[in-house]
Amino acid sequence: MKIVVLCGGLSMERNVSITSGTLICKALRELGHRALLVDMFYGLEDVDIPVEELFDRLPELVDAEVGKLEPDLEAVKASRKWRSPSLVGKGVFELCALADVVFLGLHGACGEDGRIQAALELMGIPYTGSGCLGSAIAMDKDLTKQLAAGAGVRTPKWQMVYYDRGDTLMQAMNVGLPCVVKPVDSGSSIGVAIAHDQAELSDALEQNRPLGRVIVEQYIRGREVDVGVLRGQGLPSIEIRPKRGFYDYINKYQAGATVEICPSPIDPAIEAELRRVAVKVHGLLGLKTYSRSDYIVDENGDVYFLEINTLPGMTPTSLMPQEAAAAGIDYKSLCQIIVDDAVKGAKA
């Protein structure tokens, strides 16, 4: 098949996405597909051959890895040659229209928030993962928690803080201390802080002021566990134990920074509950093919749902591929399953 793997874009998870996309594209080529890796933001601005010839002249893939620093998005914008306000680069949609399917290797804004999904749907282009509505809801941690809590899923107490409404430290304190401050609609733990006292909470709120709003969540002490869902079935869970601090951007993507144990060394009854909740939330949001959700298991064995990812990372240290492997599904097979579901859904 002719497949466009979209990665990059203009989000704080850009570097993670490029690494995911590169590995996905490599795996698809090894499976015999004519796969093209395309940065959604830069597009085809450096391509000097007709678009329709690209699938027959596949460029060599360059290895990518996630650095310790978050991307400088202003520098990325300044370096684009095509001076357009569009977040989608030159020729991207033209190329996608020639493909049999688009594999979304994007993360964060413009990738997981439903906008690119909606654009592809309007153009009749098959793509991988969940639809525009489910993606948009899942990207918003507040909406997701409202729906999950309303359906009886246990989740930590939380409070939204809107800076333009004049919300103050007192609103944030409603969940008590310690608490977690995090952006409402981004991932990779960017902007996340754990506040143990009012001073730390005040600092965390101030640092996130440019976002306009944040979610402040009750801190639950316990084991951090993630669960993938693939084709409606829960995968073996993975326990995350950072060697230092919490599971932040560096600990997620730097090899050796975190001990990840899959399957989790956890009581079978708790494992069953984790998978049950993961499948329930996946279905509740109307998600498709695959997702990965985050949990805390406290000292009493109670499971607390935190958030869900509709386009889980596919980097060398990412959790979803490890969980799939524990279920007997290797990386290339996982990519093929995701492609097959997208093609099947387009024909349904």
Contacts (Cβ under 8 Å, ≥6 apart) of 264: 223, 225, 236, 237, 238, 239, 271
Q: What is the CA radius of gyration of the chain?
A: 20
DSSP calls for 262-306: SS----HHHHHHHHHHHHHHHHHTT--SEEEEEEEEETT--EEEE
280, HSE (Cβ side, Cα atoms, 13 Å): 16
Q: pLDDT at position 6, please?
A: 98
User: For the whole model, what pTM was predicted?
Assistant: 0.91
pLDDT interval class at 256 (50, 70, 90): low
Q: Which amino acid is at 203?
A: D
* CB-based contacts of 292, cutoff 8 Å, min separation 6: 226, 227, 228, 229, 308, 309, 312, 319, 320, 323
In the predicted model, what is the mean pLDDT of residues 208-235? 94
Q: How many helices (H) and strands (E) does the chain have?
A: 12, 13
181 and 137 in contact (C-beta within 8 Å)?
Answer: no
Which residues, listed in sequence order, are joined to residue 335 by a DSSP beta bridge?
none
Neighbours of 63 (CB within 10 A): 8
pLDDT value at 171 more than 80:
no
Query: What is the residue-averaged pLDDT of the chain?
Result: 91
- Determine the Cα–Cα distance for residues 24 and 295; give it in Å rounded to an integer: 26
Which helix (DSSP H) or strand (DSSP E) does residue 238 occupy?
strand 238-242
What pLDDT, on the 0 to 100 scale, is given for residue 249? Answer: 45
Q: What is the pLDDT of residue 13?
A: 87
For position 63, what pLDDT does the model report?
83
Task: Please indicate whether residue 186 or residue 47 has the higher confidence score (pLDDT).
Answer: 47
pLDDT (tens digit per residue) in 90-142: 999 999 999 999 999 999 888 999 999 999 999 999 999 999 999 999 999 99
300: Cα within 13 Å, side-chain hemisphere? 4
What SS3 state is found at 5?
Answer: strand
| Lowest-confidence pick of 43-47, 109-113, 297-301, 333-337 | 109-113
For 70-89, what is the mean pLDDT?
A: 92
Cα-flanking dihedrals φ and ψ of residue 109, to 5°? -60, 145
For residue 291, is pLDDT > 50? yes
Q: Is the pLDDT of residue 168 over 80?
A: no
pLDDT band per the 50, 70, 90 thresholds, residue 55:
very high
Ordered by where they begin, the domains of the chain are 2-127 (3.40.50.20), 138-154+222-329 (3.30.470.20), 158-218 (3.30.1490.20)
